Amino acid sequence: MAERPLPPLPPLPDEETRTLERAATGPPDPPHVPRERPRAPRAEGPQRRQWSAGHALVVSVLALAIGLLLNAPGIHKSAYNKPDGWQRDVALALTGPLAGVSHALLLDRPRKAVQALVGRSGADEIHTDLGLPAPAPAGKPNRPATQAPPPVSTRSKPKKLAFSPKRKLKIWVAGDSLVITPGYAIVRAAGASPAMEPVGTVDGRVATGLTRPDVFNWFDEIRSSVKELRPRAVVLGFGGNDDKAYMTGLPEGRSIGDFGSWSWRKEYGRRVGGLMDAINRAGAFVVWIGLPQTRSAAQTQRFDVVNAVVEKEARKRDGRATYVDTYTMFAGDDGGYTQYLADGSGQLRKVRADDGVHFEREGGDMIARVVLKALNKEFDLTSWRKQQP
């Protein structure tokens, strides 16, 4: 008997069919999922707000305004110290009201407190009062030809003051930058003498003089230092920065002409003579170191004008002041400027600095010897030796 055919298998479900197909062909590629960048952990608290450029500009302007108000006194003084001209006028017009607002709002107090802590109280104050007698009325005096010259004193010169190791002659040195090198030479020489004693330090200040008390008021400085140190001899050196027409500290309503004019010489002579008188009243003798020749012929001519005024004032005060002429002391063989001079043995020494104005140490030593010679002429510094056994 023939076998009956088997019945057909039932069809597989779709899921099973797909499973078999995957088994035969391998698993399908997984779907592409874009990767996300890891995010930084968010800080707790409110989210920071970004400022616009306009906000930053406003803050910068406010900070600048506050800084200007805090430093307004110093800015105003810097404007006042500028050379005469339109730039100074504009600076004063801008900084004057600014300083007034700063003072009214008490914003200048922090600056003053800091200056007091570092020992610079009053550094922003502008002192132009010279403390000198009022000048004579303007107008060039012309002495009549019939007027008799002043009588010559017939009194004998008073006996020299004597100093010794037990009672030393106290010496103080002050002036502009030209006095610094000679000043230290004078201090060394005086310190080596048994009858002399330097007091204080060499008070040499760069870029100062007698024409600009707003930059530094030497009239106050010298009066206070002489009162404190009580020297019997004061060595001064000014003029290196005074060869300009512009002056501050003039009396109210008074003006002067160009540098070297009659009115300029009169006012500068008033300042030089006033300092000499103030030192004399304090019981001290004045030695004034004149200005030397310089490499610049034009500057040398200006220095010559200053020297002429100073020498004239010193001659008026014979026995109370003397003038040291460095103009001829440092002249070369042709009478002009030279940087080297021969010493006692004939060897050339460098006496002037490379800038053509200031002194080298050898030049300072030359001036010191002349200054001590002048002091020995004025005071008795040697008789004590005869009294020793």
Q: State residue 27's pLDDT score.
A: 57
Q: State residue 387's pLDDT score.
A: 79
Question: Do 231 and 356 share a domain, yes or no?
Answer: yes
Q: State residue 143's pLDDT score.
A: 47
| Residue at 254 is within a domain | yes
Least confident of 12-26, 250-264, 314-328, 356-370: 12-26
Domain range spanning residue 311? 169-387
Question: Do 180 and 325 share a domain, yes or no?
Answer: yes
Domain edge (last residue) among 74, 96, 117: 117
Over residues 231-244, mean pLDDT: 97
Q: Which of residues 129 and 323 earns the better pLDDT score?
A: 323
Q: Which of residues 56 and 209 earns the better pLDDT score?
A: 209
Encode pLDDT of 238-279 as tens digits.
999 999 999 999 988 888 999 999 999 999 999 999 999 999
| Residue at 4 is within a domain | no
Question: Do 186 and 329 share a domain, yes or no?
Answer: yes
Least confident of 84-88, 118-122, 138-142: 138-142
Question: Do 96 and 202 share a domain, yes or no?
Answer: no
Tell me, yes or no, if the pTM score tops 0.75. no
Over residues 220-234, mean pLDDT: 97
Least confident of 82-96, 262-276, 345-359: 82-96
Q: State residue 210's pLDDT score.
A: 98
Q: State residue 125's pLDDT score.
A: 64
Over residues 114-133, mean pLDDT: 66
| Residue at 83 is within a domain | yes
| Residue at 269 is within a domain | yes
Which tokens hold the place of 43?
Answer: 């800080």
Question: Do 175 and 109 share a domain, yes or no?
Answer: no
Judged against a pLDDT cut of 90, whether residue 366 lies above it is answered with yes
| Residue at 52 is within a domain | no
- Which residues, in sequence order, are CB contacts of 352 under 8 Å at separation 6+? 292, 330, 337, 338, 339, 358, 359, 360, 363
Question: Do 308 and 237 share a domain, yes or no?
Answer: yes
- Whether 286 contacts 236, CB under 8 Å: yes
d(CA 214, CA 149) in angstroms, rounded, equals 39
Question: Do 271 and 372 share a domain, yes or no?
Answer: yes
CATH number at residue 292: 3.40.50.1110
Question: Do 353 and 218 share a domain, yes or no?
Answer: yes
- Strand 340-342, strand 233-237: pairing: unpaired
| Residue at 5 is within a domain | no
- DSSP summary character for residue 231: -
What is the rounded (10 degree) CA torsion for 99, 105, 111, 113? 140
| Residue at 149 is within a domain | no
| Residue at 135 is within a domain | no
Kindly report the average pLDDT of the chain as a whole number.
Answer: 82
Judged against a pLDDT cut of 70, whether residue 152 lies above it is answered with no
Which tokens hold the place of 242?
Answer: 């005074």
Question: Do 349 and 236 share a domain, yes or no?
Answer: yes
Question: Do 205 and 275 share a domain, yes or no?
Answer: yes
- Whether 278 contacts 226, CB under 8 Å: yes
Domain edge (last residue) among 117, 142, 158: 117
Radius of gyration of the chain (CA): 42
Q: For the chain, what is the domain count? A: 2
